[in-house]
Structure 1
Amino acid sequence: MTEIRPAEPADVDRAARTLARAFADYPFTRHTVDARDHLRRVEELQRLYLTEIGLRCGRVWVADDASAVAVWITPESTGIPEAFERISGRVAELSGDRADAAAAAEEALAPLRPVGPVWFLATVAVDPDRQGSGLGGAILEPGLREARQAGVPAYLETSSERNVAFYRRLGFDVVGSVTLPDDGPRTWAMVRNHTQ
């Protein structure tokens, strides 16, 4: 049985690699991150989210070997706007020639996002070599449990129809969807209420 535990700074390199491998061909990432040296750019973006958003402001869980990782922004997270502002230049640089598409995607998704307290799943991944082993549900469980205990919903966005089915099995419901501008992928907003 794989142990799921809170992440530490020493996990960042392995967790960033897991996220990069999982998101290498993900529709949203392909649409919003420059194709040149794509995998390196995705890994660096994920490293930023892990360190500056997850570990600094939110909550992060990893499998003991970092083959799975989940980054959450919680209602108690502080400094989120400042953290995003702090990394915005580097994010735009890493997005490269897709920076405008990334900004347009954020604008398109903003109206779907909850306005009240929520556990927001910022990023989650299972290494492709370990997918289908139950790690996806396991890595999400601590965040889902804490959201339920706090009495607030969990929220996520996905650009994969296969992921929609996976999240539905975990109790999430689709609350909206949008096709991202500039021939972007369809992206679904999903909520899991605390009663589940």
Structure 2
Amino acid sequence: MPTSPIRPAAPADLPAAVRTLTRAFAGYPFTRHIVAADGHEERLARFQELYLARVAMPFGRVWVADEGRGAVAAWTTPDGDPGAAVGELGPLVGEIAGDRAAAFEAAERALEPYRPTEPVWFLATVGVDPGRQGQGLGRAVLEPGLEAAARAGYPAFLETSTERNVRFYERLGFAVTAEVALPDGGPRTWCLCRKAA
């Protein structure tokens, strides 16, 4: 079991949380597909910072382990509507994606039909610092969100682009609802849902 306390993220945790997510996603197939290779990690860090600061923290829920240095889980929830913020970020996200912007848009179009239309807790991102993997931090940082969604009576939904992650989420009660071959040579991506309690 992890020894790092899990707690809701505070604004002061943002820099460490961004570093953790950037390190966790540096080689991830989906982000490699949708974010330009030149300056990839800097672009990825900008994307993570924008998402956490402008969407997840004000409109959703974010939990961290070790003040963001160990693990981070960010959710959107039915309680907040990030639509306007997401719309404002569109041009910035396109700029961050660089020469992969069209692939990003195509991936979003391909996944959209498989996303829930009913209210859900959407696990937008979760990452464990590579140096801290294998300590149970991933599960620990996810549990508060899973418990909160269950208490509120909502399903939880996520997407992942690695088969290893699919097995991890299945152990947490998720079931695969779709398997999507992303266009433009993108990675296979799985949609998973955990039913409401």
Query: What TM-score do you get using the length of structure 1 for normalisation?
Result: 0.97
* Paired position in structure 2 for 1:27: 29
Structure 1 residue 68 and structure 2 residue 71: aligned? yes
* Aligned mates of 2:98, 2:163 — CA distance in 1: 26
AA in 2 matched with 1:77: G
SS in 2 for 1:10: helix
The RMSD of aligned alpha carbons is: 0.7
* Aligned mates of 2:58, 2:18 — CA distance in 1: 15
Shift of 1:2: 1.1
Structure 1 residue 179 and structure 2 residue 181: aligned? yes
SS in 1 for 2:31: helix
**Deviations for 1:84-127, whole angstroms, at most 9, x for unmatched residues?**
11111111000000000000000000001001110000111010
* Aligned mates of 1:19, 1:48 — CA distance in 2: 12
SS in 2 for 1:65: helix
AA in 2 matched with 1:76: D
* Paired position in structure 1 for 2:99: 97
* Paired position in structure 1 for 2:47: 45
Q: Which of these residues, 77, 80, 101, is aligned with residue 80 of structure 2?
A: 77
* Aligned mates of 1:186, 1:192 — CA distance in 2: 20
Which runs of structure 1 show a deviation greater than 4 angstroms over 4 or more consecutive aligned residues?
none
Q: Which of these residues, 149, 152, 168, is aligned with residue 150 of structure 1?
A: 152
Query: What TM-score do you get using the length of structure 2 for normalisation?
Result: 0.97
SS in 2 for 1:194: coil
* Paired position in structure 1 for 2:10: 8
**Deviations for 1:3-57, whole angstroms, at most 9, x for unmatched residues?**
0111011111110010000000100000000000101100110011100111111
* Aligned mates of 1:160, 1:42 — CA distance in 2: 18
Identity of aligned residues (%): 57
For structure 1, list consecutive stretches of 5 or more residues without a partner in the other structure.
none
* Paired position in structure 2 for 1:113: 115
Partners of 2:76 and 2:121 within 8 A in 1: yes
> How many residues are paired up?
194
* Paired position in structure 1 for 2:141: 139
* Paired position in structure 2 for 1:190: 192
